[in-house]
Structure formats: C-alpha cells, structure tokens
Amino acid sequence: MKYAGNFFCMAQAKNLVMKFADLMPEVDFNLQENSEPKDYHKMLIEVKDGLIDFFVWPQEDFPGSVKEPYDYFIHETAAVVFLKGNDELTKLRQVFTFPVSFVGAGPGEPEWITVEGLNYLKNCDVCFYDALVNPQILNHIGPNTERKYVGKRGDSTSFDQGEINELIFNAVRDGRKVLRLKGGDAGILGRIQDEVDFLQEYELSWTISPGITAAQALAPCTGTYLTSRGVSDRVILTTARQAGGGLNQLMHFDRATLVIYMGILSIKKICSQLLEAGYPEDLPAMLAMNLGRSDCQELRGQLINIAELAEKNNLRPPGLIVFGDTAGVKSFPSYSPLLGRRVIVCGDNEALWKREEKFLRYSGAKPICLGDLSAYKASEMKFPEFDDVIFLDSRSVYDFHGIHSELEDGVNYTCLNKEVAVSFECLYNQVAQVTEAKGLVSESLRQLISREYLNALSAQ
C-alpha cells in the first residue's frame, strides 16, 4: 500500500504507519518520498488517480473535512486521507476512533439519568443533545467539552436528520469521543436507527446506554400506572404519525394502556379515528405534559372531550396522550411535607451537606447539593430548579445572592445558624428561618412546611 506524507510531518507519517504495519503485518506499506513540499490538493489528486493509497497530513493544517469520493480519520495530531471504500484503511479507522455513545437522558428529572450515562457525560469531547434534554443534565459535562444542540420539535424548526448524521460522523472521524444525548430512552420512538444506520454504512461503532422513557414517568409524576391488575395487562407505545408523515392507524387495545408520543398537535384526528373505530366516548383519556419537570401538567377527561380540553388549555408539545382505563385512575401517596420538593443545599462542608442530603432523600425530597456556586456565574451551566434553599455557611449566601439577587415567592430559605442568618438578612433585607442548635437544617425545613400545611387545614 503506497502512501505519502506532508513534507513537514514525515516523522509523524512514519510513526503512524508503523502502528498500521504492526496491526496489518500482511500489508506492505511503501512510502513515496517527497523531495519537496506538496500541495494538499495535489495529494488528493494522487489518491484519486491511484498513485498513492493514502496520505498523512498534520491536523493543524487539515481543512476539517473532505468531499466525496474521499474519506479520512484523525489519530492524535495527524489526518489520514484515502478514497472511500478502501477496506484496509476503513478497518484501521475502526481501531483508531472511539465508538459513538448513545445515552438516554430520561424525560426531564435530572436525577433520572443512569450512572453509566453520567460517566459518558463527564468524559466526552463533544455532546450532541436533543430538545427534550433537561439543561441541568448538561452541567455534568466537562468545561472543555463542546456542546452542540441538534434538537427536533414538532411545533418549531428542527435540525435535519442528515445534518445530524454528518455532524456525528465528522466528529468521530476527527478522533473525538462523541456523546449523542437523547431525551427519554435512546431506543424508544426516537431516530437512533437513522443515526446507527449511517454509522454502520461507514463501519463505525457505537454503544447504547438506556434511559427512562416518558411513559415510565407517568407513575411518579401523575399517579397513573401503565398497568394495573384487573384493569390493564399490557402497554402500547406508539407515535401519532408514521415515518412519511401520515397519521398512524392505531391498533385495537382492549385491556391495554395506549400511550401516544408526539401526538398533541394531532389530538383531534387521533380522537376521531378512535371514535370511528368503535371505542366508547367515555373511554378515560389523559394528557401529561413536561413529565419530570417543575412545570409538569396533567389534564384528564374522556375520549369525547380530551381534544377540546387540550385546545381550551392551549397545550403544546412535549407531552403524552394516554387512553385506557388506567388513565381514569390516579393514585398518590398521602401527604408528606418534603415529598417531591427540590431542595438546594448550599455550602462547602461535605460532612454537613451529606447529613442533610441523607435526611432529605429519605424524607422524599430531591436534594441538590451545591458546594461551589461560583461555577454557575461564569459558565453555560444551568442553575437547578428549586422549591427550598438551605444555607450551611455565609459564603454560600453571598454566592447565591450573586446568582439570585431577588428572593422568589413560595420558596423557603433556611439557615444553619444565626451567623449565616445575619448574612442572609443583610443581603436580602428579610428575616431568615434559623435551625435550632445542633439540629438538621432540613428537619427545621420540614417543621416549617408542616406548620404551614396544618395551619392551612385548620383554617378551612
């Protein structure tokens, strides 16, 4: 196999080809010596004319991509350019490039991403993320990682799938560790197959890390179970429209829960189709919007009126449409003061916030421990949504004030001691809730919320 190298990177070329030869001892690699520098475009012509099989070019001078019929990959600081379809070099690229990591980010709640998914987030070089990925999840990405939005929304301008494929492909060829972060589960009613097929065409590899699909969020967010003994023993997950854009013909679903993704904008046609198919007008129906987020919303009705309710409330994607007897049942746990509350714990004393986190977690809250708030001031990091805030030291009060200079209505702010409370009162000109001596701040928070709840009940 004949190859050439840029005159100024011949050592790079020889070292790289030594690795190739070690992997393919049966292939004879012959260097075509350059007595003088050659132009990049002349090298391309030599590859096309069959004078050489590939050439090595320094990455810093590489144009960043190639057009048909050429192909390439980058290893360390050198680009290897060859004709598309060269089997040996395609196989070598498999060795020297990283698999694309497809990760399901879940429907909205930042903690619903897997540990494996977080590890991919922390170690990728570039992250291509969807519209439905909670921005707080992106906080786990390293400061040097490139973030690229490639979202698709049914009610707004979306990225073309072909463009997304090319972006991923070029990043892989550039030798980068690529993360494709998708909302929900990457393999359920998404476009992962299109992207995987494209990678397969070029014999590139990938891994898939599963996520929680939106339908699985119905139980924790709305109290509606996908299955229930004696009511529904199967689940159908589908989309409102087929690949070509036409409305899906919905199958029979007696004793099943039908969950329709991406159907909010087509709900009138869906309901008409089901009525024409003979389903009863009083079939329980439900709309679930923004599952796993603080603005989660649900709307319940029946097949005959759910479309009208959606229009009346001006509902927009993203959301699920649920049909079946389970949609008429709502089961929520009894009142517990901290249940489901997003509580930020501010302070750099790890031992203290671990105590608070443990109590909050087992009280049903969603603790968010922030040791260093300064990171949110000078970066793209999204500040978490919250219902309550706990301050463990004065420094955290000042840092928090730098981000949120005004207090929010309905939020409880609690301080560890009087010293921290003084800082809070100076900055916000408002009296702070202070923890009793040696007690947990989160326990005082629970007392405060419980007192307000019981007082409200007494007043009724």
Give 233-253 pLDDT, tens digit per residue: 899 999 886 655 566 666 667
CATH number among 3.40.50.1580, 3.10.20.30, 3.30.950.10, 1.10.3680.10, domain 216-328: 3.30.950.10
Residue 423: strand, helix, or coil: helix
* CATH class of the domain defined by 2-96: alpha beta
Residue 359 has a pLDDT of: 96
**Is the pTM higher than 0.85?**
yes
When pLDDT is averaged across residues 288-309 and rounded to a whole number, the result is: 94
Give the Cα separation of 230 and 219 in Å (integer): 17
Q: Where are the alpha helices (DSSP H) in 161-280?
A: 161-173, 192-201, 218-222, 267-276
Give the Cα separation of 102 and 99 in Å (integer): 9
pLDDT band at 158 (very low <50, low <70, confident <90, very high): confident
Q: State the residue for tokens 């003979």.
A: 278
When pLDDT is averaged across residues 279-292 and rounded to a whole number, the result is: 94
Question: Of residues 50 and 247, which shows the higher confidence score?
Answer: 50
Residue 235 has a pLDDT of: 94
* CATH class of the domain defined by 342-459: alpha beta
Here the tokens at position 129 are 């993320």
When pLDDT is averaged across residues 344-360 and rounded to a whole number, the result is: 94
Q: What percent of the chain has pLDDT over 90?
A: 72
pLDDT higher than threshold 60 for residue 264: yes
The CATH code that applies to domain 100-212 is 3.40.1010.10
Give the Cα separation of 105 and 114 in Å (integer): 8
Give 194-240 pLDDT, tens digit per residue: 999 999 999 999 999 999 999 999 999 999 999 998 889 899 999 88
Concatenating the DSSP letter of every residue in 318-334 gives SEEEEESGGGG----PP
Q: What percent of the chain has pLDDT over 70?
A: 95
Residues whose CB is less than 8 angstroms from the CB of residue 406 and which lie 6 or more positions away in sequence, other chains included? none
Q: Domain residues of the chain, as ranges?
A: 2-96, 100-212, 216-328, 342-459
Give the Cα separation of 105 and 212 in Å (integer): 7
Is the preceding peptide bond at 69 cis, omega within 30 degrees of 0? yes
R_g over Cα of the chain: 28
Q: Minimum mean pLDDT among 135-149, 169-183, 332-346, 376-390: which range? A: 376-390
Residue 369 has a pLDDT of: 94
pLDDT higher than threshold 70 for residue 82: yes
When pLDDT is averaged across residues 355-363 and rounded to a whole number, the result is: 95
Give the Cα separation of 174 and 178 in Å (integer): 10
Question: 218, 233 in Cβ contact below 8 A?
Answer: no
pLDDT higher than threshold 90 for residue 142: no
Mean pLDDT of the chain: 91
Residues involved in catalysis: 130, 152
Residue 157 has a pLDDT of: 66
pLDDT higher than threshold 90 for residue 87: yes
Helix (H) or strand (E) segment spanning residue 441: helix 441-459
When pLDDT is averaged across residues 392-399 and rounded to a whole number, the result is: 95
pLDDT band at 75 (very low <50, low <70, confident <90, very high): very high
Give the Cα separation of 188 and 190 in Å (integer): 6
Give 305-314 pLDDT, tens digit per residue: 999 999 999 9
pLDDT higher than threshold 60 for residue 155: no
Q: Is 138 exposed, middle or buried (0-12, 13-18, 19+ CB in 10 A)?
A: buried
Residue 81 has a pLDDT of: 96
